[in-house]
């Protein structure tokens, strides 16, 4: 069944047939629906052609109703084809007459019974020596216990059957018969002896005694039991859903079965045999393993059920559910069993009539369910059933009795108390009503307050109270100050076009950007596209405009199929509009067929000498949309196809033989001036043709052969205007292109009321210009959009566009697989950052504990790090400063002593007795000085060691700091790479996601849509230099549709919603249906971003999406403003030279665009 929003599509019920009336109805053959009017028919057809449906079997979404129905039929056919044929009969037999509430429960029960039971012909997989092999089950050997159970059951049933026959024979007064054993033996002997007498005397004999009879009966029963085969026994008990699962496993254990398999030839065996001589350099081990694998191929093998398995693509719960849903049915009543459909039962030989035992058991189950429901109802209503006849009541009748007892009787009519009511009673009544109204209002306020307390965010946007001062004063980092009123969008659309035309304009631009790869079209900005459509002349021609039309038309020409049935125009052609008023209804489709039929008749009226037809009775020739097949004339000549023998007309003038698009050179000889004016006008007079017929005939003539000629780039895309005319004439209708006659009238130069500039009495500009090339630039902007939109819709149905859409879906699948890798990389980076932060915190705690400054020391420079701290000198290298000072002092003392000694010797020889007393005093002084020097040396050594320890600690600390800094830089670099990869992933995902379909950026609280159309298809968001580029450089605002606005007013009064919209959007801030606005400056976009409230569901999603692309949106707007301002300033450097070499128009950006994606 086809689903929409996970629910089955409900078909429209047929209209009520009024007796005595036989009105005309509209029949939709695809669904069997009947409609009483054309509007409901077309509305339903348009609904079916929207891509809202889902195939239930495959799960595909985004399909039309007909595509989903076709997908289900194809999937069902594939399922029936691929599902194991040997399992269909046993599974359906097991499910037949099963009483199970839901289909899922039935699927679970059948899967548990069959997933480890295999049947002859079943394809399985078996693992032998670590290699998987495919095999086919040839024979099934049940265990002895299963044989015994079935034989006992057969013997018991046979004995009961023979005993019943014995009782019936003994009770009958007829002649006695011999025992079946002796009778059969005697009968066989008679046949062998040739005595095949039919006399009754041969059967008359005495009955054997009771013991002999029982022995004979037992022998017959045993013979019947021994006649059982493995097919009659295998899995009969285990697959019976009437038997409980535990009992079935005990009586019929699946693990005890033995299967004989036929291994299928391995795929590598044939390759091995063919390439054995060529692969002489192959390793011996590999060759031995391959020989070992091939040795199992095409041989028998025996295995248990535990070693076997089925392919999940052929047998799983999902596939089983699809099969049972298609093959089973169930009546809508309590306790109804599942039954197999007649076509399936006929194919697999399944009995549709249940046996007495099954019917009796199902009836008991149904009565048990009814009794359970009766008990529930009795407990719910609290009433009892009494009486003798209640047991005979059905459940429905009993329920009706309960309802009658519960529903109170209507009050009896009271007599009129009085005709007059006192004034006091009226006052009391009014006061009571006022009190009740006040209580009701207070209750509503209380419930509303309770709902607000229980409100969970994000909630419905309109349930939120208007923004208050506290919320306005809250500052969010990275956002501008919030305002209560949304910034007003600009309402003046470029060129003064209406909202409907602007919507079509954006739709065309979005398709050209998204499908640029399939169309072989380079990206371009919206401003350039608008300027190209407004280009007023064909000299010089606008390359952008030419390439757009050529790219779209070439897809139709290359497609070759010209799938008319898939075109949007064809959907409206089937609508019967003959009864509609007006002469122009369905002219483009009906006349095209008439022209093709009648012209083919005229072309067969005689031969065409030299490719020219007689112009007798006609002033000119006209063409038709479909080519008439060449048929032999009476004289043997063959007329050319009508598509190549068309001639155009304009008024009463003769058509030129040269084609504007250059196709006349190739088809000039074949394109003859066949006279078909009589086929159009009916009596051969051109003046009798309607204006629509004249426009159509000239358009068909001008565009003949367009579908056979590729518009090549090296030829300047010459003839694209003619191809556009031919496409519109052959494929368009008034439903698909409402302005069809005006467009064709202008392009062909044929006067028509719709083709005049100011209404039916206005000026016709088409006849002012000589050909289509010069007429197209002066065609109105709205008509250019309508024609281009129709051609784009046709190109969406081509194989190139469909292949591109499938490519986008495949790319999205790959991107979704890549997303978890990015998330894991980000989580790993965050985990490493947390570990680094913990290490830094521990380092700071250690520094504080050691009394050091908690501030992180700056890491040394690279030169200092390489040199390291100054290490203390060794004891051998460092001079002993203390010893040197002591030696100097001792030398001074020696000098002093020498001087004093010389003086003493020169003074007197008798003073030599004082010398021994001075020498001890001198030695003690030197010892003191030497001790002081040693102490100073020890102190210096201690200080030096302390400085060395401090330097080493500082070095270690700096090394740790440098290590942490390097780790932080590495994590920063990895995070930058992850962010860059994630941004690239988002851009690729957006590019492929919005290729097949375009979605808005989000909705605000009043259901207004916001569109941002940058980054679609092959249009990049950043260039090769990493700078942001733009396509539109704007955010477009669209008013809510009628359905969305009605949905918004379900729970809220319209006046209240409009008052709130005026308060929060400003005066005239709420756009109506079909109205558009836009933001084109970064400041307004930032204010819009700050205005959104994350507590609302729609605006929360909108703000999240806005946040994701905020940088690109704001940067693109600024880039666009810069480009527009630079383009408006005169170029002083090239101003003088450009006057000589270029015109002002050729320097504009839309004139400088080049198609780099085109294939020459």
Element housing 733 (H / E): none
Residue closest to 638 by CA, chosen among 679, 609, 681: 609
DSSP-derived 3-state class of residue 26 = strand
**pLDDT value at residue 312:** 83
- Burial (CB count within 10 angstroms: exposed 0-12, middle 13-18, buried 19+), residue 555: buried
Residue closest to 304 by CA, chosen among 257, 251, 234: 257
**Which two tokens mark 326?**
């298609």
What is the rounded distance in angstroms from the CA atom of residue 828 to the CA atom of residue 705?
Answer: 63
Compute how many other C-beta atoms are within 10 angstroms of the C-beta atom of residue 834.
Answer: 10
Distances from the Cα of 799 to the Cα of 176, 555, 806, 807, angstroms: 85, 9, 10, 12
Q: Are 1092 and 1102 in contact (CB under 8 A)?
A: yes
- Burial (CB count within 10 angstroms: exposed 0-12, middle 13-18, buried 19+), residue 852: middle
Please enumerate in sequence order all residues whose Cβ is within 8 A of that of 106, keeping only pairs 6 or more positions apart, or say none: 95, 98, 100, 324, 328, 338
What is the rounded distance in angstroms from the CA atom of residue 807 to the CA atom of residue 454?
Answer: 47
Residue closest to 887 by CA, chosen among 921, 920, 934: 934
Element housing 231 (H / E): helix 230-233
Concatenating the DSSP letter of every residue in 836-905 gives: HHHHHHHHHHHHHHTT--SSPPPPPPHHHHHH-S-PPPPTTTS--HHHHHHHHHHHHHHHHHHHHHHHHH
What is the rounded distance in angstroms from the CA atom of residue 517 to the CA atom of residue 530?
Answer: 21
Q: Are 495 and 999 in contact (CB under 8 A)?
A: no
**Which two tokens mark 343?**
């076509």
Element housing 98 (H / E): none
Classify residue 16 by its DSSP letter: P
**Which two tokens mark 652?**
């009463």
The tens digit of pLDDT for each residue in 557-578 reads 998 754 444 444 434 444 433 3
DSSP-derived 3-state class of residue 45 = helix
What is the rounded distance in angstroms from the CA atom of residue 365 to the CA atom of residue 349?
Answer: 26
Ranges of H-type helices in 487-586: 499-514, 516-519, 526-533, 543-559, 568-573
Compute how many other C-beta atoms are within 10 angstroms of the C-beta atom of residue 847.
Answer: 16
Q: Are 877 and 931 in contact (CB under 8 A)?
A: no
Concatenating the DSSP letter of every residue in 949-975 gives: HHHHHHHHHHHHHHHHHHHHHHHHHHH
- Burial (CB count within 10 angstroms: exposed 0-12, middle 13-18, buried 19+), residue 856: middle
Residue closest to 732 by CA, chosen among 867, 589, 944: 589
Distances from the Cα of 590 to the Cα of 17, 698, 740, angstroms: 32, 16, 15
DSSP-derived 3-state class of residue 659 = coil
Classify residue 490 by its DSSP letter: B
Sign of CA dihedral 928, 930, 931, 937: positive
Segment-wise mean pLDDT, segments of 10 residues, the chain, 1160 residues: 84 84 88 90 92 87 92 85 87 89 88 91 88 89 84 76 71 48 44 40 41 57 67 83 86 90 66 46 52 57 89 86 87 84 88 82 78 63 44 44 43 45 75 85 75 73 85 84 90 82 94 93 94 91 94 90 45 39 39 44 37 33 34 36 34 34 36 36 55 90 90 90 94 92 92 77 79 92 94 93 93 93 93 90 78 47 42 42 46 47 44 50 77 87 85 79 89 93 93 89 94 92 91 94 88 89 89 92 93 92 94 94 75 43 65 84
**Which two tokens mark 136?**
């086919």
Distances from the Cα of 1158 to the Cα of 185, 554, 904, angstroms: 95, 11, 124
Compute how many other C-beta atoms are within 10 angstroms of the C-beta atom of residue 176.
Answer: 12
Concatenating the DSSP letter of every residue in 1086-1150 gives: HHHHHH--TTBHHHHHHHHHHHHHHHHHHHHHHHHHHHHHHHHS--TTTHHHHHHH--TGGGSHH
**Which two tokens mark 129?**
């020596």
Please enumerate in sequence order all residues whose Cβ is within 8 A of that of 430, keeping only pairs 6 or more positions apart, or say none: none
What is the rounded distance in angstroms from the CA atom of residue 960 to the CA atom of residue 964?
Answer: 6
Please enumerate in sequence order all residues whose Cβ is within 8 A of that of 323, keeping only pairs 6 or more positions apart, or say none: 79, 80, 83, 88, 91
Produce one character per residue of 751-779: b if its CB has 16 or more CB atoms within 10 Å, e if not: bbebbbeeeeeeebbbbebebbbebbbeb
**pLDDT value at residue 969:** 92
**pLDDT value at residue 890:** 45
**pLDDT value at residue 1091:** 93
Residue closest to 1150 by CA, chosen among 464, 527, 626, 483: 527
**pLDDT value at residue 1127:** 66
What is the rounded distance in angstroms from the CA atom of residue 964 to the CA atom of residue 839?
Answer: 8
Q: Are 909 and 852 in contact (CB under 8 A)?
A: no
**Which two tokens mark 778?**
């002066």
DSSP-derived 3-state class of residue 416 = coil
Bond preceding residue 1137 cis, omega within 30 of 0? no
Angle (nearest 5°) at CA 726 between 721 and 727: 95
Q: Are 620 and 676 in contact (CB under 8 A)?
A: no
Concatenating the DSSP letter of every residue in 430-446 gives: HHHHHHHHHHHHHHHHH
Distances from the Cα of 1148 to the Cα of 159, 449, 544, 1123, angstroms: 105, 61, 12, 11
Would you list the domain boundaries of the chain?
2-82, 525-575+587-797, 835-861+881-896+919-997, 998-1147
Ranges of H-type helices in 96-177: 103-114, 144-171
What is the rounded distance in angstroms from the CA atom of residue 1047 to the CA atom of residue 1054?
Answer: 11
Q: Are 679 and 602 in contact (CB under 8 A)?
A: yes
């Amino acid at each position: 069944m086809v689903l929409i929003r996970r629910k089955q599509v409900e078909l429209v019920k047929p209209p009520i047939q009024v007796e005595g009336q036989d009105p005309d109805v509209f029949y939709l053959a695809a669904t069997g629906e009947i409609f009483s009017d054309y509007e409901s028919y077309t509305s339903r057809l348009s609904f079916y052609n929207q891509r809202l449906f889902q195939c239930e079997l495959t799960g595909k979404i985004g399909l039309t109703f007909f595509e989903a129905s076709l997908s289900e039929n194809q999937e069902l056919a594939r399922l029936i084809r691929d599902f194991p044929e040997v399992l269909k009969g046993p599974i359906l037999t097991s499910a037949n007459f099963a009483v199970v509430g839901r289909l899922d429960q039935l699927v679970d029960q059948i899967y548990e019974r069959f997933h480890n039971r295999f049947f002859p012909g079943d394809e399985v997989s078996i693992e032998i020596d670590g290699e998987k092999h495919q095999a086919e089950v040839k024979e099934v050997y049940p265990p002895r216990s299963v044989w015994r159970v079935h034989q006992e059951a057969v013997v018991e049933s046979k004995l009961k059957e023979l005993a019943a026959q014995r009782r019936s024979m003994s009770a009958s007064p007829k002649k006695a018969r011999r025992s079946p054993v002796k009778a059969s033996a005697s009968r066989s002997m008679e046949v062998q002896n040739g005595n095949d007498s039919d006399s009754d005397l041969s059967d008359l004999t005495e009955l054997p005694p009771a013991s002999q009879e029982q022995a004979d009966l037992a022998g017959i029963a045993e013979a019947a039991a021994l006649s059982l085969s493995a097919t009659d026994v295998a899995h009969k008990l285990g697959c019976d859903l009437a038997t409980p699962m535990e009992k079935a496993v005990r009586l019929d254990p699946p693990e005890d079965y033995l299967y004989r398999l036929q291994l299928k030839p391995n795929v590598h065996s044939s390759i091995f045999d063919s390439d054995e001589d060529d692969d002489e350099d192959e390793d011996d081990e590999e060759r031995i393993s391959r020989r070992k694998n091939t040795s199992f191929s095409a041989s028998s093998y025996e295995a248990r059920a535990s070693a076997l398995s089925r392919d999940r693509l052929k047998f799983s719960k999902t596939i089983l559910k699809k099969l049972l849903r298609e093959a089973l049915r169930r009546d809508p009543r309590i306790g109804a069993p599942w039954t197999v459909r007649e076509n399936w039962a006929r194919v697999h030989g399944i009995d549709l009539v249940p046996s007495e035992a099954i019917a009796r058991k199902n009836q008991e189950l149904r009565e048990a369910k009814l009794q359970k429901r009766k008990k529930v109802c009795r407990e719910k209503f609290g009433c009892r059933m009494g009486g003798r006849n209640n047991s005979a009541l059905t459940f429905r009748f009993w329920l009706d009795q309960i309802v009658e007892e519960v529903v109170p009787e209507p009050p009896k009519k009271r007599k009129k108390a009085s005709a007059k009511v006192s004034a006091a009673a009226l006052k009391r009544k009014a006061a009571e009503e006022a009190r009740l109204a006040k209580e009701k209002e207070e209750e509503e306020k209380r419930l509303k307050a309770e709902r607000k307390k229980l409100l969970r965010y994000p909630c419905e946007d309109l349930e939120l109270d208007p923004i208050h001062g506290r919320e306005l004063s809250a500052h969010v980092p990275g956002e501008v100050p919030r305002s209560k009123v949304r910034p007003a969008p600009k309402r003046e659309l470029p060129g003064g076009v209406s909202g409907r035309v602007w919507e079509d304009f954006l739709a065309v631009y979005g398709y050209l950007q998204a499908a640029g790869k399939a169309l072989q079209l380079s990206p371009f900005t919206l401003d350039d596209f608008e300027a190209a459509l407004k280009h007023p002349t064909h000299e010089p021609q606008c390359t952008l405009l030419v390439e757009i039309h050529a790219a779209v038309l070439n897809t139709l020409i290359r497609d070759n199929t010209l799938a008319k049935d898939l075109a949007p125009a064809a959907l409206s052609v089937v609508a019967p509009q003959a009864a509609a008023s007006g002469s122009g209804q369905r002219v483009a489709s009906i006349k095209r067929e008439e022209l093709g039929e009648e012209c083919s008749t005229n072309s067969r009226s005689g031969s065409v000498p030299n490719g020219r037809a007689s112009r007798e009775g006609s002033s000119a020739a006209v063409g038709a949309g479909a080519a008439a097949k060449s048929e032999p004339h009476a004289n043997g000549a063959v007329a050319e196809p009508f598509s190549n023998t068309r001639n155009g007309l304009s008024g009463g003038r003769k058509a030129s033989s040269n084609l504007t698009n250059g196709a006349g050179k190739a088809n000039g000889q074949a394109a003859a001036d066949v006279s078909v004016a009589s086929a159009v006008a009916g009596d051969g007079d051109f003046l009798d043709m309607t204006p629509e017929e004249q426009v159509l005939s000239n358009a068909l003539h001008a565009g003949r052969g367009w579908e056979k000629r590729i518009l090549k780039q090296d030829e300047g895309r010459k003839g694209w205007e003619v191809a556009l005319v031919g496409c519109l004439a052959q494929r368009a209708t008034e439903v698909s292109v409402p302005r069809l006659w005006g467009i064709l009238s202008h392009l062909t130069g044929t006067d028509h009321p719709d083709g005049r500039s100011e209404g039916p009495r206005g000026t016709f500009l088409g006849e002012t210009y000589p050909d289509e090339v010069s007429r197209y630039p002066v065609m109105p902007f709205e008509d250019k959009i309508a024609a281009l939109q129709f051609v784009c819709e046709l190109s969406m149905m081509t194989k190139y566009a469909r292949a591109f859409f499938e490519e986008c879906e495949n790319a999205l699948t790959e991107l979704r697989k890549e997303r978890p890798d990015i998330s894991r990389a980000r989580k790993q980076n965050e985990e490493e950052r947390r570990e680094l932060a913990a290490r830094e915190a521990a380092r700071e705690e250690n520094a504080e504990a050691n009394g050091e400054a908690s501030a992180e020391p700056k890491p040394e420079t690279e030169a200092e790090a390489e040199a390291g701290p100054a290490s203390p000198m060794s004891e051998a290298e460092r001079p002993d400063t203390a010893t040197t000072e002591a030696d100097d002092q001792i030398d001074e003392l020696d000098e002093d002593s020498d001087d004093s000694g010389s003086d003493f010797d020169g003074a007197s020889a008798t003073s030599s007795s004082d010398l021994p007393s001075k020498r001890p005093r001198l030695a003690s002084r030197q010892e003191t000085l030497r001790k002081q020097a040693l102490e100073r040396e020890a102190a210096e050594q201690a200080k030096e060691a302390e400085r060395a320890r401090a330097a080493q600690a500082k070095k270690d600390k700096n090394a740790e700091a440098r290590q942490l800094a390097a780790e932080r830089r590495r994590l920063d670099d990895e995070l930058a790479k992850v962010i860059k990869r994630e941004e690239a992933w988002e851009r690729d995902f957006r590019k492929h996601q919005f290729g097949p379909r375009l979605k808005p950026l989000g909705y605000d609280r009043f259901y207004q849509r916001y569109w941002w159309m940058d980054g679609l298809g092959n249009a990049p968001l950043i260039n090769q230099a990493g700078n942001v580029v733009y396509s539109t450089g704007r955010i477009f605002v669209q008013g809510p549709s009628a359905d969305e606005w009605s949905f918004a007013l379900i729970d809220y009064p319209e006046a209240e919603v409009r008052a709130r919209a005026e308060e929060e959007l400003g005066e005239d801030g709420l756009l109506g249906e079909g109205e558009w606005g836009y933001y084109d400056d970064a400041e307004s976009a930032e204010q819009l971003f700050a205005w959104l409230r994350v507590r609302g569901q729609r605006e929360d999603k909108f703000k999240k999406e806005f946040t994701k692309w905020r940088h690109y949106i704001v940067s693109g707007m600024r880039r666009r403003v810069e480009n527009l301002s630079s383009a408006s300033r005169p170029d002083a450097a090239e101003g003088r030279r450009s006057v000589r070499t270029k015109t002002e128009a050729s320097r504009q950006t839309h004139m400088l665009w080049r198609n780099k994606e085109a294939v020459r």
